[in-house]
Structure 1
Amino acid sequence: MATLLEYLPLIIFFAVYKFVDIYWATGVLIVASVIQLAYHYFQSGHIATRHWIFFAIALVLGGMTILFQDEQFIMWKATVIYAILALLLLVSRYVFKKNLVEKSLIGLLKSVSEKEQGDNTDTPIVIPQSIYEQLNVMWMVLLAFVSALNLYVAYNFSLDTWVNFKVFGLMGITFVAILLTIMRIYKYLPEDNS
């Protein structure tokens, strides 16, 4: 359910674009993002910083798209988001000496383990630091590549092709990256979690 909610504004954007146009789709994307923020707030009592950042980018670039009737602004949204994420991984790792991929995976694995075993999470999940470092670099490079790839598709192909790429291409690339991450850590997971 949470994964569907993350992609819901994108799915609605795609549907409205196909039936109306890019400007209506952009407006609906902004409204869907507001609804998504409200849902997160009522679900957990707070809104994660990343959701605020993604909403702000959608609001600013989407608003400019509608105001100036120029789809190029909304085309930059994915590039800006993926570039920020790549930059966060880079700066957090090499300036602040923190591996955000490691923190995310530890939190996710702990959450999954607690759901499966209740409070009896006696088996620690031990993944070598070198694996976390490899995954951090993989995600950093992938996000930077996708950021540039979005612009390449936006400026070298039709608007229809870009919208299809934004929805299906970016989602597919993300899915493959998640799959590669799981494959890389799979052998370190306890039997109960695998």
Structure 2
Amino acid sequence: MAALLEYLPLILFFAVYKFVDIYWATGVLIVTSSIQLGYHHFAHGKIATRHWIFFAIALVLGGLTILFQDEQFIKWKATVIYAVLAVSLIISRYIFKKNLVEKALIGVLKSANEKGDTDAPLNIELPKHICEQLNLMWVAILAFIAGLNIYIAYNFSLDFWVNFKVFGLMGITFVAILITMAKIYKYLPEDQS
């Protein structure tokens, strides 16, 4: 359910674009993003900062798209989000001395452990050099995606860009997740791997 809710705005954006147009799709994206915020508020009692940021970007760029009837604004949404994520990883690591990729990985592994059949607490130590490599890898991937999105937005048709936004970005992200899993696999406890 949670995974579906994460991708619901994107799925509905794609469907409405295919059946109506980019402006209706943008409106649906904004509405479903706000519903997503409401769900997180009522289900978890709080809304994660990333959801607020993603909603604000969708609201501003989507609102400008609808207001000016110009698809160029919504095309920037993915670029802005991925660039913000890349910059956040850099600033967090080198200014605040926190590795957000490491923190996210530990959180995901602990969550998976809590949902598993084992009662044993998760005891995982990822080597710092692996976490540093993963942080830099994700910075590079996110920056690449940000640049690639805007390149495709201005050099290909709107149809091609929408398909890339939905399937291409998801594919690149999936490959990055697989690479991340491969790099940490040997450090997982036996029952987690």
TM-score (norm 2): 0.97
AA of the residue aligned to 1:47: I
Q: Paired residue for 1:176? A: 175
Fraction of identical pairs, as percent: 75
Q: Paired residue for 1:6? A: 6
Per-residue CA deviation, residues 126-164 of structure 1 (Å, 9 max, x unaligned), is 211111000000000100010000000000000000000
Aligned partners of 2:73 and 2:191: how far apart in 1? Answer: 47
State the Cα distance separating 1:110 from its structure 2 match: 1.2
Q: Paired residue for 2:113? A: 113
Unaligned runs of 5+ in 2: none
State the Cα distance separating 1:119 from its structure 2 match: 4.4
Per-residue CA deviation, residues 5-61 of structure 1 (Å, 9 max, x unaligned), is 111100100000000000000000000101111111111011001000000000000
Q: Paired residue for 1:141? A: 140
AA of the residue aligned to 2:97: K
Q: Paired residue for 1:38? A: 38
Aligned partners of 2:3 and 2:183: how far apart in 1? Answer: 21
Q: Paired residue for 2:20? A: 20
AA of the residue aligned to 1:192: D
State the Cα distance separating 1:97 from its structure 2 match: 1.1
- The 5 Å alignment of 1:27-106 reads 27-106=27-106
Q: Paired residue for 1:165? A: 164
- Contact persistence 1:82–1:146 (CA under 8 A): yes
- Contact persistence 1:114–1:120 (CA under 8 A): no
- The 5 Å alignment of 1:116-131 reads 116-117=116-117, 119-121=119-121, 124-131=123-130
CA RMSD for the aligned pairs?
1.0
Consecutive aligned runs of 4 or more in structure 1 exceeding 2 Å deviation: 117-120
Aligned partners of 2:54 and 2:61: how far apart in 1? Answer: 11
AA of the residue aligned to 2:183: R
Residues paired across the two proteins, number: 193
Unaligned runs of 5+ in 1: none
Aligned partners of 1:63 and 1:25: how far apart in 2? Answer: 12
TM-score (norm 1): 0.97
Aligned partners of 1:93 and 1:36: how far apart in 2? Answer: 29
Q: Secondary structure at the match of 2:116?
A: helix
